Amino acid sequence: MPNSETWNAVDLFFNDRLIGHDAVLDKVQASCAAAGLPSISVAANQGRLLNLLASLVGARRILEIGTLGGYSAIWMARALPVDGRLLSLEIDPKHAEVARANLALAGLADRVEVRLGKAIDLLPAVSGPFDLVFIDADKPSNPDYFTWAMRLVRPGSVIVVDNVVRGGTVADASSTDPTVLGVRRLVDLVAAERRVAATAIQTVGSKGYDGLLIARVIG
């Protein structure tokens, strides 16, 4: 059974050829580490996937919940046209500060706003529609964030939720872990929502064993 060493080697193989090295993103990761932020940004290949999804959907407006140091925001914002906008919500003032500096470093300060506060308190004042929503904050709130996202999208929009597998614990129906419960309840909501077509994909790699849920708004 291939292990995490193999997953990392495969990530390196593909990323080296398909993504390459990016001086800005390397600096962003270094600045996050130097500021003591947890290393829980999406992986480079996941960042590229978000970037491709933003391109595929022709995103002009993107909403992110959970900024951290701005790594995923940079990947997504790079797919925006010059007059496009990304709004990212972040509860931690230090994370928001690091993210703003990183977005400026990436030349995206004019296209991205990092708004400080608890996402659930900020969302009522957020106006859509957004073409892409990336949910990647506190996992127990995933059901609330998905409910808000559905109010802020249009037909054709895409909603992506990070970390829906968490080492496989999501399949444990008897789990009392608030993170697992948040994801399971999210999946129930998505399943009951007739306005989306959705799938979830398990991933392995430098971020361990996790996965993404991807939903497209169909009407």
Q: Summarize as ranges the residues that interact with ligand DHB (CB under 6 A).
A: 40, 136, 162-163
Structure tokens at 80: 């925006």
68 binds ligand SAH per the rule CB under 6 A? yes
- Smallest distance, ligand SAH to C-beta of residue 1, A: 28
Helix or strand (DSSP H, E) at 106: none
Which region among 37-45, 102-110, 153-161, 204-212 touches ligand SAH (by CB under 6 A)? 37-45
- Smallest distance, ligand SAH to C-beta of residue 90, A: 5
Specify whether the CB–CB gap between 95 and 71 falls below 8 A. Answer: no
Hey, which bits of the chain come out as E strands? 61-65, 85-90, 112-116, 130-135, 153-162, 196-205, 208-217
Query: Which among 128, 189, 120, 125 is positioned nearest to 153, based on CA atoms?
Result: 128
- Smallest distance, ligand DHB to C-beta of residue 218, A: 27
Helix axis angle for 142-151 and 178-192, nearest 10°, is 30
Residue of 31, 61, 66, 157 that binds ligand SAH (CB under 6 A): 66
- Smallest distance, ligand SAH to C-beta of residue 194, A: 28
Q: Which residues bind ligand SAH (CB under 6 A)?
A: 40-42, 66-68, 71-72, 89-92, 95, 118-119, 136-138
